[in-house]
Amino acid sequence: MPAPGRLVDRRPSLGAEELLARFAPPPRFADVRFSTYRPDPAHPSQAEALAAMSAFAASTGAPAAPPPRRRWRRRAPLVPEGPAGRYLDGGYGVGKTHLLASLWHEVQPTPAVYLSFAELTAVVGFLGMEEAVHAFAPHRLLCIDEFELDDVANTLLTVTFLRAVVGEGARVATTSNTLPDRLGEGRFHADDFRREVAAIAAHFETLRIDGPDYRHRSATPAPAMADEAVDRALAAAAGPTTDDRLEEVLTHLRTVHPVQFGPLVEGLGLVALRDLHPITDQGAALLFVALVDELYDASVPVAASGCAVDELFPASYRRGGFRKKYGRCESRLSALLSEAPGA
């Protein structure tokens, strides 16, 4: 096997067209379908969400002709009809992303894009609002995973973007751990932006999904490994690998545009992280959360030494406004550790 590379030496720089071409369900969800979703009989809301999303797919019609390019207006009116989207609300690991990716697959060959909310805000910032609206306008369906409002700028950006693309006739489906009328609570003064939050919520019909995290149904979260076990995992991995210390990776992430995090880990067979330790800078912690999301979506296993997963984030972070992000990260990182060779 070739010697491991280093994640910190990878510096992707994809252009706009290359980035847009990536917006399809990632490898972990490439083969999911409505028929492979297994609702938990103890939680009827799961079967109800499956039926509702199947109906939504059926109602998302044939491809529309691409609209002619015209100057985009910041204050385009909201579409007056009923909600153009579906909003899957629920905890971690109840199958929200499975249903969202299944929706994308079900409507093919209808023009559709699939991306995370973090990727959406990153690409709008990368392209600029007018170019982003034009780029997404030909698509009949937008599937947005892990929808959340972290700050005022994202709130205003999201209202503007949704108003424009829904006005062009797009339908939207999204997943989240927060009800749409409570977005932003605990992160900024959401009451000051009640109108904007209400404008976002008006686009969606909410589908609640209950149940336990399936990633923890059959096993406890995987612990970090000893360095010797990391070495064995690297030797047994299929495909290219990287081997870095956590602190070096955190420093590197500050130099990479968030829209490039997906390309940063694309094609890897395993990522090794040495010396996991509590991340005491919240900016670095949130970048690490974004990295884990990309690793999880791309099905790239992780081998790690150092502290346990539930020691990575200080208790104050796990109780604060971003607690749901950290909870999702702990769940997904535990799953990736359990997928490493020899785990």
pLDDT, tens only, 307-319: 999 999 999 988 8
| 181 shares its domain with 129 | yes
In sequence order, which residues have a C-beta less than 8 Å from that of residue 56 and are 6 or more positions away? Answer: 86, 103, 171, 173
| Mean of per-residue pLDDT scores for the chain | 85
Least confident of 59-68, 98-107, 130-139, 206-215: 59-68
- In-domain check, residue 31: no
Q: Look at residues 177, 193, 211 and tell me which one is the last residue of a structural domain.
A: 211
Nearest to 193 by CA among 233, 169, 157, 161: 157
Residue 198: the pLDDT is: 75
Average pLDDT in the 259-285 region? 95
Average pLDDT in the 117-132 region? 90
- In-domain check, residue 324: yes
SS3 content of the chain, % helix, strand, coil (to 5): 45, 15, 40
State which residues form the domain around 277.
216-338
| 243 shares its domain with 297 | yes
Q: Is the predicted pLDDT of residue 1 greater than 70, yes or no?
A: no
| 205 shares its domain with 223 | no
Residue 90: the pLDDT is: 86
| 69 shares its domain with 144 | yes
Residue 61: the pLDDT is: 58
Residue 212: the pLDDT is: 79
- In-domain check, residue 13: no
Helices then strands, each counted (H, E), the chain: 13, 8
Between 285 and 154, whose confidence is greater? 285
- In-domain check, residue 288: yes
CA pair distance 152, 147, nearest whole angstrom: 15
CA distances from 254 to 53, 251, 308 (A): 38, 6, 24
Between 152 and 304, whose confidence is greater? 304
The answer to whether the CB of 233 falls within 8 A of the CB of 227 is no
- In-domain check, residue 257: yes
**In this prediction, what percent of the chain has a pLDDT beyond 90?**
55
Instruction: Please name the helix (run of DSSP H) or strand (run of DSSP E) that holds residue 290, with its range, or none.
Output: helix 282-297
| 162 shares its domain with 67 | yes
Residue 283: the pLDDT is: 94
Q: Look at residues 211, 238, 260 and tell me which one is the last residue of a structural domain.
A: 211
| 291 shares its domain with 172 | no
Query: What type of residue sits at position 32?
Result: V
Identify the band that residue 201 occupies on the pLDDT scale cut at 50, 70 and 90.
confident
CA pair distance 222, 310, nearest whole angstrom: 10
Q: Is the predicted pLDDT of residue 66 greater than 90, yes or no?
A: no
Average pLDDT in the 164-171 region? 89
207-216 pLDDT tens trace: 999 987 665 5
If phi > 0 it is left, if psi is from -120 to 50 it is alpha, else beta; for residue 128 that is left
- In-domain check, residue 176: yes
Residue 314: the pLDDT is: 92
Q: Is the predicted pLDDT of residue 63 greater than 70, yes or no?
A: no
In sequence order, which residues have a C-beta less than 8 Å from that of residue 112 and are 6 or more positions away? Answer: 104, 139, 140, 141, 142, 143
| 132 shares its domain with 239 | no
Q: Is the predicted pLDDT of residue 86 greater than 80, yes or no?
A: yes
| 204 shares its domain with 224 | no
| 314 shares its domain with 327 | yes
Identify the band that residue 301 occupies on the pLDDT scale cut at 50, 70 and 90.
very high
Residue 156: the pLDDT is: 82
| 199 shares its domain with 301 | no
Between 194 and 248, whose confidence is greater? 248
Q: Look at residues 183, 211, 239 and tell me which one is the last residue of a structural domain.
A: 211
| 171 shares its domain with 255 | no
Q: Is the predicted pLDDT of residue 74 greater than 50, yes or no?
A: no
18-55 pLDDT tens trace: 988 899 999 999 999 999 999 999 999 999 999 999 99
- In-domain check, residue 46: yes
- In-domain check, residue 30: no
Number of domains the chain is built from: 2
Nearest to 264 by CA among 273, 275, 255: 255
Beta bridge partners of 243: 272
Residue 325: the pLDDT is: 87
Assign residue 205 the CATH number of its domain.
3.40.50.300
| 202 shares its domain with 220 | no
222-239 pLDDT tens trace: 677 899 999 999 999 999
